[in-house]
Copies of this chain bind each other. A is one copy, B any other.
């Protein structure tokens, strides 16, 4: 190169990506799922049927329909997925997006300006933490217990911020199969949380990406469902966890004026049509049965991982059985640094998510880590946890 293109780039960009490497022997990171459970034959058959019927509509952006997304899929989300979460509403309250990460970007773009403050759970989705920090927005973590957000702490944070004249732009919460703790907030606490949000005029951004995979209890009504016509909650969900991560299809459910404002920011000329067609054709008659089968598999893996952690690490490490999803959250004794542990583990062919990236307070997160069990098989789970325990003991 004679011209240095990178010198023309902004100076405040995140570091360039490295060269991709295949995962190590024991990979416990990411939202990957059980390969044997992906319904690829059913999706293929569904897509062939859908294309036979209306394949020529691929000639039009949005298949010739609304930019909100393929209407039969929005109808499925509004009726059947809405029903699972208890949400009333029609397809015009649904915006299909290119993965729920786009939902995060649209809401953040609509609501946040550098210097703003948002509230998150003290342990929360790492991709949201990095997005918020990249936007120059402050985040304050709210304490969690086994039922999710501790409301007394939320109130005290809101009061403290009020004395500083700060109105948080929203509360980002994952009440059902919390990421990374795996907890489910009980119904009464949801009602109380909503009451508190109303009292403080605090918008709620509810992420239910893993909620279709709830097995530890009956799935409670979502905050959006409990809010009814209150207008306090923007909801998002995804097909990545329930059907396949490589599909990039998620959705936002909100009141129509909110949906239309978010749509004005969605300038990608539509979400992928093959994926929307396949899902719209496959899901109405297959979603429930598929998810039930998938949950059985995931629960078996979860049990194996929790048992392996307890047996290999003993009482020193806390782990709670997740109520669903694909991960467990480990808490180590004070003084543990899981960032350092991750480096040592990588040498032994093990990868996990250090808690610092999955926490609003990176220091608080340093004695914690997330282990994903969706993709590895039972032997890999057991072997990997044993290998990790060995690395951990060697670090003491």
The interface size bin for chain A is 35 or more
* A2/B55 contact (C-beta < 8 A), A18-B260, A268-B99 known: no
Between A9, A59, A67, the greatest number of chain B beta carbons within 10 A of the residue's beta carbon is seen for A59
**Among candidates B41, B260, B275, residue contacting A275 with C-beta atoms closer than 8 Å:** B275
Closest chain-B Cβ to A206's Cβ sits at a distance in Å of 13
Q: Using Cβ atoms and an 8 Å threshold, which residues of chain B touch A254? A: 5
**Known contacts A2-B229, A47-B47, A274-B274; 5 further A-B pairs (Cβ under 8 A):** A16-B257, A37-B59, A44-B48, A248-B272, A272-B275
* A38/B56 contact (C-beta < 8 A), A16-B264, A127-B267, A229-B2 known: yes
**A151-159, A230-238, A315-323, A347-355: which one contacts chain B?**
A230-238
Closest chain-B Cβ to A80's Cβ sits at a distance in Å of 21
Q: Using Cβ atoms and an 8 Å threshold, which residues of chain B touch A255? A: 1, 5
Residues of A within 8 A of B (CB): 1-6, 8-10, 13-20, 23, 30-38, 40-41, 43-44, 47-48, 51-52, 55-68, 92, 98-99, 101-102, 105, 110-113, 127, 130-131, 169-170, 198, 201, 203, 229-232, 234, 240, 244-249, 254-255, 257-258, 260-261, 263-265, 267-275, 278, 374-375
Q: Using Cβ atoms and an 8 Å threshold, which residues of chain B touch A131? A: 267
- Interface of A, secondary structure class, is loop
Closest chain-B Cβ to A22's Cβ sits at a distance in Å of 8
A244 touches B14 (CB 8 A): no
Nearest residue, chain B, Cβ from A243: B58
A8 touches B169 (CB 8 A): yes
A58 touches B38 (CB 8 A): yes
Between A30, A61, A99, A260, the greatest number of chain B beta carbons within 10 A of the residue's beta carbon is seen for A61
Q: Using Cβ atoms and an 8 Å threshold, which residues of chain B touch A43? A: 51, 55, 58, 274
> What CA separation (Å) do A120 and B376 show in the bound complex?
50
Q: Using Cβ atoms and an 8 Å threshold, which residues of chain B touch A1? A: 229-231, 255
> What CA separation (Å) do A41 and B229 show in the bound complex?
44
